[in-house]
Amino acid sequence: MKYSILVEVYAELEKHSGKIKKAEVVSELLKETPAADLEQVVLLLGGRVFPVWSDKEVGVAIQLMIRAVSRAAGISPEEVQKQFNKSGDLGLTAEELSREKKQRSFGKKELTVEHIFEGLRKLAEVSGAGSQERKLDFIAELLISAKPLEARYIVRTVLEQLRVGVAEGIVRDAIAKAYSVSPEDVENAWFLNQDYGEIARIAKEEGTEGLKKVRIKIGNPVFVLLAEKAPTLKEAIESFEKVGIEQKIDGARLQVHRKGNQFWVYTRRLENVTKQFPDIIEYCKKGIRAENYIVEGECVAVDKKTERPLPFQALSQRIKRKYDIEKTLKEIPAKLNLFDVVFLDGESLFEKTLEERRALLEKIVFPQKGKIELLEQLRTKNLKEADQFYRKALNESQEGVMVKNLEALYQPGRRVAGGWLKVKPTLENLDLVIVGGTWGTGKRAGWIGSLLLGCRDPDTGKFLDCGMMGTGVKEKETEGSVTFEQLTKLLKPLILSEKESEVKFKPKIVIEVAYEEIQKSPTYESGFGLRFPRFLRIRTDKAPEEADSLERLKTIYGQQKGKK
């Protein structure tokens, strides 16, 4: 398939913001795509050459890409950087330079989807001495052969910054429309096999019947069952006939796959973290008496001296670490608290109740204290007993409790009424001041794309940073929303200094912020950081002097999990 056909679709998708129209555009492409090319085309529509759960990556940094564009255009890297700074999009820069280039290569071959896809996959395998130069050679060769518009999307694809707005829901609806199957059947198949390329091929060749035959594959992650939030513990335990209550651990939800001597470890977001957790694999080898399974648990970092759980941020250092793994294992030991099993000895357990799955889990797990354990489960409908369990969880610095319906089946990827309910303290929103930010790139080029938040230090009158936020502000204006463009106009007159993409502002604009929790953080001046902060509104009714103080953050930090 000619790459130019896919590129035309990319350009068309960029013209439309509506999901329905985007799905129609993708659907028409899928109808015309041969079955042999479907998997490649669908992955490339998402700007990828590997499924989302794969730990493989093309591995091309932006500076290497600048050199590739430089070589293809016949100008210096400094000139490319200069034009990139203006556009904020290296793909657009490559396109413009391609148009301006006077000398064109003769006898060049027309680019195909297969050539680009397979070539980029091979780049992921390139390593060792001279690997960066070999990557540079291949990408520059592609750009020399590419037409200007093709150059735009080659650069964006390699950098995984495609920006044509094709999310999973659009691909799902497009597959359904193209092959006359239901979106629900497509999505259910995808929950079990997170490769829409393969799902598209199955839908095209086998239809609904084929989609319903999709099964779990050990080694491919499964979207986990999600919990809904309950207003109170009382309402939660009254929601189900048979109740199991477990601590809501402040850790990382992991699923561990084993097939013989092969192991895979994934996060709830399908990140492959197998390399980061060799200790967890060893614990599973010794502590789980089965050869083929998929189990779920909460992994926590453990204090080496006290053996008490550490906040999630400590564990996140391990998740992000790709080098010096052995050193990290010693610095941040981990423990796995198991609570579910969804596949065992060749059998999917989705049709078994939680009570049945728990019984199977208890049969195969042989706990090792401080390494791999079964998460304690309290079975009661007594509010007093449940509340004592809840308070104990908070006193042990956990997030709260999970109240689970023991009669519920496991439905991957869904928040299911009648399934799991989470109960945790309600945290008040914070009023914070915008003290800095970074200039955006791509669709946010020309705007402040991320905001640095500050809390008030009443002793000094200064504002101490306590988190970065890029969520909740809109790219396009809707009724009642605040856009990046609007915020940027408000902030520009307040600029105190700029260094590369980073900006410091006069602390004047107060905004209301929601967040998941407050964590201790050496990254920020305040010593605290907001986890998943989200913009709610501009507080035009508040002056900076009325913003929340550092003491307020400390108070909430102490309250949220019974910390002292």
Q: What is the helix (H) or strand (E) element at residue 410, kind and residue range?
A: none
State the number of CA atoms in the 13 A half-sphere of 421 facing the CB.
Answer: 20
Whole-angstrom Cα Rg for the chain: 26
Q: Can you tell me whether residue 185 is helix, strand or coil?
A: helix
Q: Cα separation of 104 and 98, whole Å? A: 9
Catalytic residue among 22, 135, 248, 561: 248
Q: Which two tokens stand for residue 317?
A: 């250092």
CA quadruple 246, 247, 253, 258: dihedral positive or negative?
negative
Contacts of 261 by beta carbon, 8 Å cutoff, 6+ apart: none
Q: Cα separation of 504 and 512, whole Å? A: 19
Q: Kindly list the distances between the CA atom of residue 424 and the CA atoms of 11, 402, 421, 427, in Å, as whole numbers in the listed order.
A: 45, 9, 10, 9
Q: Cα separation of 116 and 44, whole Å? A: 10
Torsion of CA 3, 9, 14, 19, to 10 degrees: -140
Contacts 24+ apart (CB under 8 A), 123-128: 123/58, 123/59, 123/60, 124/49, 124/50, 124/56, 124/57, 124/58, 124/59, 126/59
Residue whose C-alpha is closest to residue 273's, from 304, 309, 316: 316
- Active site includes 248? yes
Task: Say if CB 292 and CB 258 are below 8 A apart.
Answer: yes
| Amino acid at residue number 323 | Y
Q: What are phi and psi of 84, to 5 degrees?
A: -65, -40
Q: What is the helix (H) or strand (E) element at residue 498, kind and residue range?
A: strand 495-499
Q: What is the helix (H) or strand (E) element at residue 228, kind and residue range?
A: strand 228-229
Q: Cα separation of 65 and 159, whole Å? A: 8
Q: What are phi and psi of 498, to 5 degrees?
A: -135, 135
β-pairing verdict for 517-520 and 252-259 = unpaired
Please report the DSSP string for 101-154 in residue order: -----SSPPPPBHHHHHHHHHHHTT--STTHHHHHHHHHHHHHHHS-HHHHHHH
Task: Say if CB 261 and CB 217 are below 8 A apart.
Answer: no
Among all residues, which ones are annotated catalytic?
Answer: 248
